[in-house]
Chain A
Amino acid sequence: MNSRETLQRTETMLLNLGPSHPSTHGVLRVLLELDGELILRADPDIGYLHRGIEKMCEYRTYHRCMPLMNRLDYLAGEVNLFGFCLAMEKLLGIEVPKRAQYVRVMLAELTRIASHLFWLGTHGHDLGAMTPLFYAFREREKIMDLCEMVSGARMFPLYFRIGGLAADLPEGFIQAAWDFVKTFPEKHKDYHALLTKNQIWIERTKGVGVMSPEEVLDWGWSGPMARGSGVNWDLRRDNPYSSYEEFDFVVPLGKNGDTYDRYLVRMEEMLQANRIVRQALEKLADTEPGDIKAKDPRVSLPKKDAVYNDIAGLINHFKIIQEGIVPPKGEVYQCIEAPKGEMGFYIVSDGTPQPFRLKIRGPSFINLSAMDKLARGRLLADAIALIGTMDIVLADVDR
């Protein structure tokens, strides 16, 4: 081979991004085929965090499935459980008391803010902006404290129950939540000041990872990923659950469907979530304290008085503890607007205390599947921006 041929010979290079790379948010490996810095092909290799949650659930009572649900998208633990509880309540045909519904909405929206804050911090950090991480985590910490107040746990509160809540809100919670709600919009301005008009940020995100509305539907994107492309769809508004129809909020939309627009959408969603928390706090003031669990003997334990003095109460208590919740035969699909998109639970019940089949539709899994489409023809550095904008959590991808 003469020297001229050597010069002309071009070979593509395979690059492993991950599985333990700081920008992959967990254990994601992306196999990149590169021509110089240009990406020819991106093949995400997932499954490093596969715990077989769907399989494990088939061997557990519904009650014992719940801690696993918290661990799907662990940055928004309680929201996953919210979806599972709603699916179970649909299967059982149970109506949850208003107070429990409002508390659930409030916690779900606080969790949404926490999840978006985590995204903001890490997404910024991946692209070289160090400061937003510290600002975002400052407020996220406050939300963690609120979660700790209701249950003692910060990441995995496990506070929702099938049919309502584990307990009523603790003393001092309402005041602490108000303190957060009132100060958050002011703090939110700091984030905007750091990034929104930052020239480097704009250069790194504008025009990167563009999806048209048609492509969004074709690829099954949901949540902020879809709204960034102008798809006017929010499950909280279009298929309301847990009394969302009583709340007043705006669904922010992007225009260009690029990373920058998705950034703007998530930024605005935090403020809207804050508005919803505020309204939930106002509504909670009109509800009866303690009315937090559906009065249905299939899911709620009888009062202690009835357990000790009444044979029917004792049997009821015994059956729920020993046997678990037994839904009727049937199958339901229930989804919610999780911070990352449509979080769905498909439960097939055969009338026994364990689910016959539980299929979890995680938004991260679906959003990530379009990685190859987004990355093709972009530069290597854009791959980092793309992983960041998808807001994936590998626990939710792998389940």
Chain B
Amino acid sequence: MSKAAELLQEKFPEEVVEVTEFRGETTITVKPGRIVDICKTLRDTPETSFKYLSMVAGLDYLPQSPRFGVVYNLYSHRNHNRVTLKTLLADDNSPAIDSVVPVWSTANWHEREAYDMMGIRFKGHPDLRRILMPADWVGHPQRKDYPLRGK
């Protein structure tokens, strides 16, 4: 098992839901509640030192419930490895999770994009506006119930 998964299971036994390995990649599914603490631990522990956030992606699993998810891909320049953090959000109608901008500044635009495209709210985000769509746009285009061509 990867170092990151061991670390999280030791420090956040309540939060880790599942650890999977697929094609040499480790995906750790965690509960959304303490995501900022989890990210800070992964960043600041010397053995893992995931100081770089590669991407944040919103996911829509319609018609499943919980419907929305957020995926974080982290990279460590020290060990040259990656880990994927995945979390499913409890509320299907107004999905929300704490922002990780305090951990990595780069999360700012990633989270704005996830908000714009999926309608996931990032609590504590310094500037949560639409980024790709016009400011007065109605709806979130990458949700699965949003049609591909207009209404």
A residues contacting B by CB (< 8 A) are: 46-47, 50, 52, 54-56, 59, 90-91, 93, 217-220, 231, 233, 238-239, 330-333, 335, 342, 344, 346, 348, 357, 359, 361, 365-366, 369-370, 373, 398-399
Contacts and interface: CB of A to CB of B under 8 A. Distances in A.
A233 B142 CA distance: 33
A346 B55 contact: yes
Interface stretch (B2-10, B30-38, B131-139): B131-139
19 contacts: A46-B132, A47-B132, A47-B134, A52-B141, A54-B117, A56-B148, A90-B23, A218-B104, A218-B105, A330-B22, A330-B23, A332-B22, A346-B57, A346-B71, A346-B73, A359-B57, A361-B54, A366-B110, A373-B105
A318 B121 CA distance: 45
Query: Is the interface on chain B under 10, 10 to 19, 20 to 34, or 35 or more residues?
Result: 20 to 34
A79 B101 CA distance: 30
A220 B142 contact: no
Contacts of A365: 109, 113
Nearest to A93: B23
Nearest to B50: A217
- 6 nearest CB pairs, A to B: A220-B106, A359-B57, A47-B132, A369-B109, A361-B55, A50-B132
B23 A239 contact: no
A398 B113 CA distance: 10
Contacts of B104: 218, 220
Contacts of B23: 90-91, 93, 330, 332
Given A218-B51, A218-B104, A331-B84, 7 more contacts: A47-B132, A50-B132, A55-B146, A220-B105, A330-B23, A333-B84, A344-B73
Interface in B50-100: 51-55, 57, 59-60, 71, 73, 77, 80, 82, 84
A218 B106 contact: yes
Given A330-B22, A331-B22, A333-B84, A357 B132 contact: no
Contacts of B25: 332-333
Given A47-B132, A233-B77, A331-B27, A344 B108 contact: no
A47 B131 contact: yes
Given A47-B134, A217-B52, A55 B84 contact: no
Interface string B115-151: 0010000000000000111100000011000101000
A55 B109 contact: no
Nearest to A333: B73
Contacts of B133: 47, 50
Contacts of A357: 57, 59-60
B131 A239 contact: no
Nearest to A348: B59
Nearest to A398: B132
A59 B148 CA distance: 8
A333 B60 CA distance: 18
Contacts of B55: 333, 344, 346, 359, 361
Nearest to A218: B105
Given A50-B132, A344-B54, A231 B77 contact: yes
A346 B84 CA distance: 10
Nearest to B82: A333
Contacts of A398: 132
Given A46-B132, A233-B77, A220 B52 contact: yes
A246 to B, nearest CB: 18
Contact of A55 (B73, B82, B141): B141
- Which of A50, A52, A217, A332 is packed against the most chain B CB atoms within 10 Å? A217
Given A47-B131, A346-B73, A219 B22 contact: no
A345 to B, nearest CB: 10
A370 B110 CA distance: 12
Contacts of B134: 47
B80 to A, nearest CB: 5
A348 B70 CA distance: 13
Nearest to B148: A59
A175 to B, nearest CB: 38
Contacts of B105: 218-220, 370, 373
Nearest to B53: A220
A227 B35 CA distance: 30
